[in-house]
């Protein structure tokens, strides 16, 4: 068991709950639905894709969806976010995004202060880089939620098969997917820094589609 003040899972789940963007992660509490946990051998339900109307404003006074699109724009937006994190956000070693535009979560995990409050996952100190983070999320490539769900389900099973017995399955909820992982992110029972976990993550990395490595 880890005594980290903020676990990776808890920080990311909180991030997912407050960011309304075209991501595969949706908060069950925000959507008002009960998740349907998938078990081995159970038929996977189809998930409808329901994109937000183009140009719609973000809830809570956020920015409208940018007009630019495409992989290049996504990468550029992520790079803008990364530079903000290194300067205003107070995380000088925040890693570059991958060439695909997705953030490099294993490297981000390495720069997280275990005694902090997860600022590295939430837009930096006082969320000063939240607008840049949100803008990058808005430009993320459209994803197939069904394939993402199946990928995370295979990854969760692989993690259990490789010794992380507490690793939970992803959950279908309200047309989106809530990642699996630690069954109690607020009081973690899985230590992502342990040698056993690191070995399991490496063994199961190929189960996750591009862009999902930071989700569970």
Alpha-carbon distance of 26 to 202, in angstroms, equals 26
Alpha-carbon distance of 70 to 170, in angstroms, equals 28
Extract the tokens encoding 144.
């197939």
Q: What local confidence, expressed as pLDDT, does residue 25 receive?
A: 37
| 94 has pLDDT over 80 | yes
Share of the chain above pLDDT 70, in %: 68
Among the residue ranges 66-80, 98-112, 201-215, the one predicted with the least confidence is: 66-80
Angle at 121 between CA 108 and CA 15, to 5 degrees: 140
Spatial contact of 78 and 101, defined as CB atoms under 8 Å apart: yes
């Amino acid at each position: 068991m880890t005594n980290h003040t903020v676990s990776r899972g808890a920080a990311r789940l909180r991030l997912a709950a407050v960011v309304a963007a075209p991501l595969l992660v949706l908060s069950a509490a925000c959507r008002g639905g009960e998740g349907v946990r998938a078990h081995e051998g159970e038929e996977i339900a189809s998930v409808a894709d329901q994109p937000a109307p183009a140009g719609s404003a973000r809830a809570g006074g956020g920015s409208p969806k940018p007009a630019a699109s495409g992989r290049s724009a996504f990468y550029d937006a992520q790079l803008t976010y990364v530079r903000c994190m290194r300067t205003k956000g107070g995380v000088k070693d925040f890693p570059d995004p991958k060439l695909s535009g997705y953030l490099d979560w294993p490297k981000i995990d390495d720069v997280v202060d275990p005694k902090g409050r997860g600022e590295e996952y939430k837009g930096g100190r006082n969320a000063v880089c939240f607008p840049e983070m949100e803008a990058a999320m808005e430009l993320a490539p459209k994803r197939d939620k069904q394939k993402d769900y199946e990928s995370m389900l295979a990854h969760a099973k692989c993690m259990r098969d490789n010794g992380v017995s507490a690793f939970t399955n992803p959950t279908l909820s309200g047309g989106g997917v809530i990642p699996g992982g630690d069954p109690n992110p607020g009081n973690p029972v899985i230590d992502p820094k342990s040698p056993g976990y690191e070995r399991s993550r490496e063994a199961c990395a190929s189960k996750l589609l591009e862009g999902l490595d930071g989700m569970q």
